[in-house]
A and B are shown apart, each in its own frame.
Chain A
């Protein structure tokens, strides 16, 4: 992997962590997102939200790292072989999606939170898995994640 790609993985992961563990809890604590069935919001955030967020964050980050390592080590170098890696990207992408289901299923703690948690976690996995892989996948698989070509062109790494 090139240094720029490694740096991007680290920076965007940190941004993801800040969003999930600081900005998003703040949305609930400051009542921007209201949960009518949760009387003690601080307790809900620490007992439910943080655990769910940790699960989604960990699974997304591990999926991202797995993808990047596999991409760096992939022996394939011919276009038709590279094409098969699209499927692998989507399969790995299932894990963060499943992690949302698991996290919300076990640690929702509020019916009112269902919709907002789902939306926020989907946004989070898009950032941590799709965005990072689209901007930082190494080698010949760099354009395999969807929309990687315009994104990398946008950040000047095409």
Chain B
């Protein structure tokens, strides 16, 4: 069973990023996740970061191809990307609302409609450049999105998207489509219900709707910002004070018109708004990941693996204490926590203990360094040996080290940032141990990474990087268990609590 994930707008992209992180640590199954981003702002910072995370994931996944996924859950889910679709894909360079609707022609040929257009949109809105997205105005976004014609869905990437769903249903699979985005901004609020309706209609048209489940995640307001003092107070940009109003209107639309489309709906929000830097759009609009997105990833997981059986079900979850988030607030803690803990310990150990040693080995020469790191000779051919192991200096091995380190940094960066939400104390990991990834990490913090770790002192005292390195061996993992990949797998398995 494949799952098609559509991230709409900046928040949608951030949700996809969270899904990719959770997929990397083995919280999804081995069925492919197929991802499509939708955004009018093609250079949006949130989108770029999500694409970068996805790319890091895919490069790492390719390294791990062929291994036993049951033994090592890390990187077991293939993620394919349809990349980005923008409603302005064919619009060329002039991305204004009035151009999109041929306003001048409309005004001349159908003055009544033209006047109506004037009533609905101010001059500033009509002439605002939309290459930064819909500027937090669902009214603008809805107008643009509603122009998406069903027939246009045959264009790329929609053509491939629909064909693949069709192929899945033909081969007896029951694919799922999961849309995620904010309900309070511009692109998500306008695009999510519209795109869902278009897909629903298209699937009905080709008679496969009953074999496809559609789920969605509406992110309710969870961050806010203040426009900078030099910003025009009457300018066209998102205003966080309007988020609740936008949300109310969007939910009303969902209740009256969208409800029949979705098999399952997830609503996520937070009382405390995290303060983010004000930005109209483009690269500059890059908000830190938020713990709500962790829940978004878990919602996608639930929709894929254990969806509610009742059509139209609305899934709710709440915290024990407002302002605090602990392991007890994580849904399906028994499955989620071990994977999060394992991956975090691995990424930390790799960056603190393994990658620097590999860098030293490269710098000093493996002949000399193998004396100081006996574990190195278990995975790479030792000097003056005929052992059937990869050469440490081999370009592929060196590249693999970089790819794994890159993923580890990306994951720990994401994890650190979801712990830093204004007004909320996230009590999952001691992220201070890896908050500054540009400085040297102290491997000694390994036993103290997990908050609420109730192992006794003697067990914790045995949980050291030294013990892990002493146990490193190709026999820890099943093939692929040699070279950089084998080393990473062995570290991953030894980091399991």
Most buried by B among A78, A140, A158: A78
Q: Known contacts A140-B374, A149-B370, A158-B377; is A79 also within 8 Å of B361 by CB?
A: yes
In this complex, how many residues of chain B approach chain A with their Cβ under 8 Å: the count is 22
Would A143 and B469 count as touching, CB distance under 8 A? no
Is A77 interfacial (CB 8 A cutoff)? Answer: yes
- Contact residues of B between 359 and 387, Cβ < 8 Å to A: 360-361, 369-375, 377, 382, 384-385
Would A142 and B466 count as touching, CB distance under 8 A? no
- Contact residues of A between 101 and 158, Cβ < 8 Å to B: 139-140, 142-144, 148-150, 153, 158
Would B469 and A149 count as touching, CB distance under 8 A? no
Is B486 interfacial (CB 8 A cutoff)? Answer: no
Is A37 interfacial (CB 8 A cutoff)? Answer: no
* Chain B residues whose C-beta falls within 8 Å of the C-beta of A140 in the assembled complex: 372-375, 466, 469-470
Would A78 and B374 count as touching, CB distance under 8 A? no
Q: Known contacts A149-B382, A153-B385, A158-B382; is A75 also within 8 Å of B373 by CB?
A: no
* Chain A residues whose C-beta falls within 8 Å of the C-beta of B353 in the assembled complex: 77-78
* Chain A residues whose C-beta falls within 8 Å of the C-beta of B374 in the assembled complex: 140, 142-143, 158
Contact with B along A79-105 (1 / 0, CB 8 A): 110110000000000000000000000
Q: Known contacts A149-B382, A158-B382; is A77 also within 8 Å of B464 by CB?
A: yes
In this complex, how many residues of chain A approach chain B with their Cβ under 8 Å: the count is 18
Is B215 interfacial (CB 8 A cutoff)? Answer: no
Q: Whole-angstrom distance from the CB of B447 to the nearest CB of chain A?
A: 13
A80, B359: Cα distance in complex, Å? 12
- Contact residues of B between 451 and 466, Cβ < 8 Å to A: 464-466
* Chain B residues whose C-beta falls within 8 Å of the C-beta of A149 in the assembled complex: 370-371, 377, 382
A140, B385: Cα distance in complex, Å? 20
Q: Whole-angstrom distance from the CB of B83 to the nearest CB of chain A?
A: 41
Would A143 and B371 count as touching, CB distance under 8 A? yes
* Chain A residues whose C-beta falls within 8 Å of the C-beta of B375 in the assembled complex: 140
- Contact residues of B between 315 and 356, Cβ < 8 Å to A: 353, 356
Most buried by A among B360, B371, B375: B371
Q: Known contacts A143-B374, A158-B382; is A79 also within 8 Å of B369 by CB?
A: yes
Would B466 and A82 count as touching, CB distance under 8 A? no
Would B377 and A79 count as touching, CB distance under 8 A? no
Neighbour of B466 across the interface among A83, A139, A148, A158, CB < 8 A: A139
Would A77 and B371 count as touching, CB distance under 8 A? no
Neighbour of A78 across the interface among B357, B377, B464, CB < 8 A: B357
A75, B444: Cα distance in complex, Å? 10
A149, B466: Cα distance in complex, Å? 20
Minimum CB distance partner of A78 in chain B: B357
* Chain B residues whose C-beta falls within 8 Å of the C-beta of A80 in the assembled complex: 360, 372
* Chain A residues whose C-beta falls within 8 Å of the C-beta of B370 in the assembled complex: 143, 149
Q: Known contacts A143-B371, A149-B371; is A77 also within 8 Å of B377 by CB?
A: no
* Chain A residues whose C-beta falls within 8 Å of the C-beta of B7 in the assembled complex: none
* Chain A residues whose C-beta falls within 8 Å of the C-beta of B382 in the assembled complex: 149, 153, 158
* Chain B residues whose C-beta falls within 8 Å of the C-beta of A144 in the assembled complex: 371
* Chain A residues whose C-beta falls within 8 Å of the C-beta of B470 in the assembled complex: 139-140
Neighbour of B356 across the interface among A78, A142, A148, A150, CB < 8 A: A78
Q: Whole-angstrom distance from the CB of A38 to the nearest CB of chain B?
A: 45
Q: Whole-angstrom distance from the CB of B262 to the nearest CB of chain A?
A: 52
Chain A to chain B contacts (Cβ below 8 Å), 24 pairs? A76-B466, A77-B443, A77-B464, A77-B466, A77-B469, A78-B353, A79-B357, A79-B360, A79-B361, A79-B369, A79-B372, A80-B360, A82-B373, A139-B470, A140-B372, A140-B373, A140-B374, A140-B466, A140-B469, A149-B370, A149-B377, A150-B384, A153-B385, A158-B374
B residues sitting closer than 8 Å to A (CB atoms) are 353, 356-357, 360-361, 369-375, 377, 382, 384-385, 443, 464-466, 469-470
What are the 5 tightest A-B residue pairs by CB atom distance, in nearest-first order? A79-B372, A77-B466, A143-B371, A82-B372, A79-B373
